[in-house]
Every structure is written in C-alpha cells, then in structure tokens.
Amino acid sequence: MSQAELEGQTLPRPRRRKDQEGWWQKHGISLVAVLVFLGLWQLSGLFLNPILLSTPVAVIRDWFQIALNGYLFIGLLEGFREMLIGLFFGVVVGITVGILMGRYQALDRILSPYVNFFNATPLIVIIPLVIIWIGITVNARIFLVFMITLWPMLLNTVSGIKNVPKGYMEVGQAFGFSERELIRKVAIPAAVPYILAGARVAAGLSIIGMIVGEMEISFFGLGMMLSTYGASFQTGHFFAVVLTSSIFGIVNVSILKWIQRRWFPWIAGTAGQNT
Amino acid sequence: MLSIRHVSKVFDTKDREVLALHDVNLDIEEGEFISFVGPSGCGKTTLLRIIDGLTEPSEGEVIFNGQVLSGVSREMGFVFQDINLLPWRSVVENVEIGLEARGVEKSERRRQALEALRMVGLEQVADVPPYTLSGGMQQRVGVARALAIRPKVLLMDEPFGHLDNFTRETLQIEVAKLWQQLKTTIIFVTHDVDEAIFLSTRIALFHSNPGRLAKVLEVDLPHPRWEFNVRADERAIAMREYILDYLGVRKDVMV
C-alpha cells in the first residue's frame, strides 16, 4: 500500500502547480519582457554614446574577452575564497551567539544594545578603522565580510530561538529532555527556518562586502575591475563584471535553496500549516 | 495509587491573581479510567498538568505509589490536545522521543517505538514525515508517543478536541480497546460528556470560578462498551442529563 492511499490522506506535491500551468504559461511573459528590454537596450546603442550604456552584444563580447584571458576567474576565485572565509565565521559566530542570546535572557539583555548598534550602522563606514586595525591586507577584506554578515545571522538566530513554538518545547519537557537536549533537539532544529533566512541575507551581503573590500581596502578582483573599468569609461567591460557578480549572487542563493530542499524538506512541507 | 492532596493553583497574571484550582482532593486507583469533565476554565487541564509535573501546584501535593512527585514524572505519558509532532523527525522518531530522553539505545528505541505504533495501527507510516498525516493519524501518533515509554499512567488532555466527529468516535473506541488490553490507568480530560461516559469507570465533575472538584460519579455500565449503543442506553442517558444539570448547563441557557 502506498502512503498516499492511507486514509485518503494527501502527500505534498511540490511539482503539481508546475504540471498544471506549464513552464511557458508561468515564465513566458517574464521571458518576453526580458527580450524586449534587451532589444531596446541594443537599439539605444544606435543613438547614445556607448560610454553611457554600452549594448548587450558589446557586454557579452567583453565578458568573453575578460573570461578568456583569465582576469575574471583569477580575481573571482580569490575573492570567493575570502568571501567564504568571512561568511563562514559570520555564520558560525552568529549562530552560536544567537542561540545563547535566544535562550538566556540575561545574555540577551547584555548584548542586545551592541548588536542593535552594529546592525543599524552601515558598516561601510568602518572601513578606515579596519584598515587602521588590520592594514591593507587580505585579512582586512575577510574581516569586512565577517562584520557585514555577522549581524543578520545573529539577529535571525535569536528570533528563531525565541519563536520556537511553545508546544514543541513542552513536548520535549513532558517526555523528559534535559535543558541541553531541549536546546539541541528541539530549539535549534525549530529555529532552522529563521537561520536559513538569515543565511540568505548574509550570503547576499557577503558579495557586497567582498566587492566593496576590493574597491576600498585593497585593489583586487571584481572590485578592482569595476573601479578600473568605470574610471576608464570601458562601460561594456564594466557591465560584464556587474553581470558576473549578479550570477555569483544567484548561485549563492540557489545553493542555499538547494540546502533547504535537500536537508530540510519539512520547512516546505509545513509551510502555512498551523502545527 | 495516585493521591491528589489539597492541590491548589494560583496563576499570576499582570494585574491580578487567578485561583485556577482550589483545594482538590482525589484518590485514583490502579487500572482506573477516570475522566475530568467540566466547563472551560474549571482547572481540569491544570490539574492534569500538575499530576504530570508540567505545572507546579501552589499548594498541596501529588503522591504516586507512596512518593511525593516533583518535576516531570518519568512514569506517566502525556497526550496533548495539540500533538506538536516535531516536523523534522519522522513519525517513528517522534514516537522515540521519550525513550531517547531515557537513554534507550538506538535500535532498541526504534523497536519499542514501532511496537507502540503497531498498537495504534500506524506501523506502516513509521518513516513518513508527520505533517503528511491526517489529523486523526497525527493524534494516534501522539498516543503512541505516550505509550512508547510504557507509562504506568496515561494522561490525556482533550486529545480528540480538534477532530471531526467520525474520527473522534473511531479513536474513542481505539482508546477503550487500548485501555482494556493494557490495563493502564488513564486520566482523561474532556468537555464532551458522552465521551466521558463511554470511556470512563469514574467521572470527576469540575466547577469553575474558582476551579474545583465538585463531585465524583461511578459509571455503572458494562464493558466492553463498543459492543452496545451506549448513547442510547437508558442509564447513560440519565447520567448525561444528571451531569449537564449538575454542571449548570441548562440553567445558563437563555430562552
């Protein structure tokens, strides 16, 4: 007997809407709109100075140029490495401190003012200070990524732990879990949706941190290319780098979505349900 | 076996103290099926939680097999009205929770949890995520979760309150059968008088404002009760009328 036959229950069918609507019905209009936009952009090249907007064809051409001569990927790989290190520490510290603050009110009250202060500060302004502390080095860029990603991670984890359904904790208590088991086996898993939401924000910000660091702390990779191409009016190359960073951002978010689907299918399964 | 002695509970709310339970005394014998019945706010759920140790009494004590209880009892299984199965665990892993907290080793845990699922007829969905089950099935898992620790006392807090009529009647029969088969003491909170009459050997009636135990009735009907139409039985009808009158339901009805 298959699961679906038991008591006529329904299993979640995430693909159903897709089957009903079809890819074209769902995305066709977006695709057409993008093509129209690109066409208009290309046409604008006939009337405007290419320094202002360049054209899609020129951007693709320039992208292949910097991709094939290696500039792009050398910079990208190193930038990616730094971004990952910064993000890693942001995530680990954010989750750890977030769990403690979420669970222990005293700690929350002690640390909250600082957390809110840093979260409210646009962290680009600390760059001169970072340079004074650490110097014009790779570590300074990593530190910038860390400082930018830490706060959303921390704040989301804190709300995740504070918003664990009371009933879940009560079940854990009634069946005899100790305080540590309650945190590890109930509170943390229940906070995962919040933590993943924080990670999505942090992943987006980490790219910003990486590029700003490469523009403002020490010249390197994508940030350097953007500054250089912008300053020398190579608009086609400039857009080629912008395109690359966008793709990078999309990849980041897709990886996180994949992680959620792969390891936390229950988040989609319980969405909108009053458990 | 279980003695409730002078138990009172005061809840502190923002602007006042609420006396939720006033001086409850009750002895419960081994193997009994006793229901707590009363209007909402009569403290029946609070008393059940105090028996389990989930809530501390303000005064009085609960004595279980000669020992005064403190903290959550390890020998009682609790069935919540909101089952709250943990969605990141499969059905069987949810049933394992109590065994896990008691340090039972992994494969043994699974074996015992599967056995508990078999008792409620859900062995075949052991490895499914809980949110794919219907409400009735989830509630059965809730019962299995409490049974898995082989409790001496099973505490059920309006377990079928959220279910539709058909499912509720099916589950009532299943609980009656489980009770006959396992001979476990069951304490059952409900506001459904028919449900209480169908299931119980005794019914404890509660009044509200302040919540207090008002009267305990014997249910003098033969077992097993699923073999005859209890609802149409004259003694049951008389008892229902008596309970509804006693709880003042009739008086409050506006004409």
> Which A residues, 229 through 268, put their C-beta within 8 Å of a C-beta on chain B?
264-266
Task: Residue B157: list chain A partners with CB under 8 A.
Answer: none
Q: Do B131 and A266 touch (CB under 8 A)?
A: yes
- Quick check: is B255 in a domain? yes
Task: Residue B52: list chain A partners with CB under 8 A.
Answer: 174
User: Which pLDDT does position A11 carry in this prediction?
Assistant: 55
Peptide bond into B224 cis (omega under 30): yes
Lowest-pLDDT range of A157-161, A247-251, B13-17, B199-203: B13-17
First to last CA, chain B: 46
Separation CA B235–CA B219 (nearest Å): 9
- Quick check: is B156 in a domain? no
Mean pLDDT of B53-72: 90
- Do B57 and B107 sit in the same domain of this protein? no
Lowest-pLDDT range of A118-127, A146-155, B24-33: A118-127
* Full-model pTM: 0.83
By the 8 A CB rule, do B142 and B85 touch?
Answer: yes
Mean pLDDT of A94-119: 94
Separation CA A28–CA A10 (nearest Å): 30
- Quick check: is B187 in a domain? yes
With a pLDDT cut of 90, the percent of chain B lying above it is 69
Q: What is the pLDDT of residues B213-238, one digit of tens each?
A: 989 999 988 888 888 888 888 899 99
Lowest-pLDDT range of A2-6, A140-144, B58-62: A2-6
Q: What is the ipTM of this complex?
A: 0.88
Separation CA A123–CA A117 (nearest Å): 11
User: Which pLDDT does position A102 carry in this prediction?
Assistant: 94
Separation CA B145–CA B83 (nearest Å): 10
Q: Could you tell me the two tokens for A257?
A: 């979505």
Q: 3-class SS at B214?
A: strand
Grade residue A218 by pLDDT with cuts at 50, 70 and 90.
Answer: confident
By the 8 A CB rule, do A159 and A116 touch?
Answer: no
Q: Do B84 and A168 touch (CB under 8 A)?
A: yes
By the 8 A CB rule, do A218 and A140 touch?
Answer: yes
The DSSP letter of residue A23 is: H
User: Which pLDDT does position A14 carry in this prediction?
Assistant: 54
Q: Do A172 and B82 touch (CB under 8 A)?
A: no
Number of domains chain B is built from: 2
Domain hosting residue B81, numbered range: 76-150
- Do B42 and B101 sit in the same domain of this protein? no
**How many angstroms away from the CA of B122 is the closest CA of chain A?**
10
Q: Do A275 and B87 touch (CB under 8 A)?
A: yes
Residues 6+ apart with CB under 8 A from A230: A238
Q: Could you tell me the two tokens for A145?
A: 């990524």
> H-type helices in A69-187, by residue range?
71-103, 105-120, 127-134, 138-162, 166-174, 179-181
- Do B13 and B57 sit in the same domain of this protein? yes
Which of B249 and B252 is assigned the larger pLDDT? B249
For residue A273, the chain B residue with the least C-alpha distance is B131
Q: Do A173 and B54 touch (CB under 8 A)?
A: yes
User: Which pLDDT does position B222 carry in this prediction?
Assistant: 86
* DSSP per-residue letters across B19-46: EEEEEEEEEE-TT-EEEEE--TTSSHHH
Instruction: Decide which of B150, B168, B190 is a domain's last residue.
Output: B150
Q: Is pLDDT at A157 greater than 90 in this prediction? A: yes
Separation CA A134–CA A144 (nearest Å): 11
User: Which pLDDT does position A24 carry in this prediction?
Assistant: 87
For residue B54, the chain A residue with the least C-alpha distance is A174
- Quick check: is B160 in a domain? no
Q: Is pLDDT at A12 greater than 60 in this prediction? A: no
Separation CA A14–CA A18 (nearest Å): 8
User: Which pLDDT does position B116 carry in this prediction?
Assistant: 94
- Quick check: is B48 in a domain? yes
Q: Do A9 and B80 touch (CB under 8 A)?
A: no
Q: Is pLDDT at B85 greater than 90 in this prediction? A: yes
Task: Residue B125: list chain A partners with CB under 8 A.
Answer: 3, 6
Q: Do A172 and B97 touch (CB under 8 A)?
A: yes
User: Which pLDDT does position A273 carry in this prediction?
Assistant: 56
Q: Do B54 and A265 touch (CB under 8 A)?
A: no
- Quick check: is B163 in a domain? no
For residue B99, the chain A residue with the least C-alpha distance is A175
User: Which pLDDT does position A1 carry in this prediction?
Assistant: 42
Give chain A's mean pLDDT: 88
Is the CB of A274 inside 8 Å of chain B's CB atoms? no
- Do B56 and B102 sit in the same domain of this protein? no
Q: Is pLDDT at A219 greater than 90 in this prediction? A: no
Separation CA B182–CA B150 (nearest Å): 10
Q: What is the pLDDT of residues A44-78, one digit of tens each?
A: 988 888 888 889 999 999 999 988 988 888 888 88
Task: Residue B133: list chain A partners with CB under 8 A.
Answer: 9
Q: Do A174 and B78 touch (CB under 8 A)?
A: yes
For residue B78, the chain A residue with the least C-alpha distance is A174
- Quick check: is B172 in a domain? no
Q: 3-class SS at B11?
A: strand
User: Which pLDDT does position B18 carry in this prediction?
Assistant: 85
- Quick check: is B174 in a domain? no
Grade residue A274 by pLDDT with cuts at 50, 70 and 90.
Answer: very low
For residue A189, the chain B residue with the least C-alpha distance is B88
User: Which pLDDT does position A272 carry in this prediction?
Assistant: 60
**How many angstroms away from the CA of A103 is the closest CA of chain B?**
19
User: Which pLDDT does position B208 carry in this prediction?
Assistant: 86
Q: Could you tell me the two tokens for B168?
A: 């509720």
Question: What domains, with CATH codes, occur in chain A?
Answer: 56-265 (1.10.3720.10)
Q: Give the CATH number of the domain where residue B228 resides.
A: 3.40.50.300
Number of A–B residue contacts, CB under 8 Å: 81
User: Which pLDDT does position A77 carry in this prediction?
Assistant: 87
Q: Could you tell me the two tokens for A268?
A: 């989609």
- Do B135 and B70 sit in the same domain of this protein? no
Half-sphere exposure of B133 (CA within 13 A, CB side): 26
Which of B98, B132, B149 lies closest to A9 in CB terms? Answer: B132
**How many angstroms away from the CA of A189 is the closest CA of chain B?**
7
Task: Residue B129: list chain A partners with CB under 8 A.
Answer: 265-266, 269
> Residue holding tokens 């003098």?
B220
Q: What is the pLDDT of residues B41-51, one digit of tens each?
A: 888 999 999 99
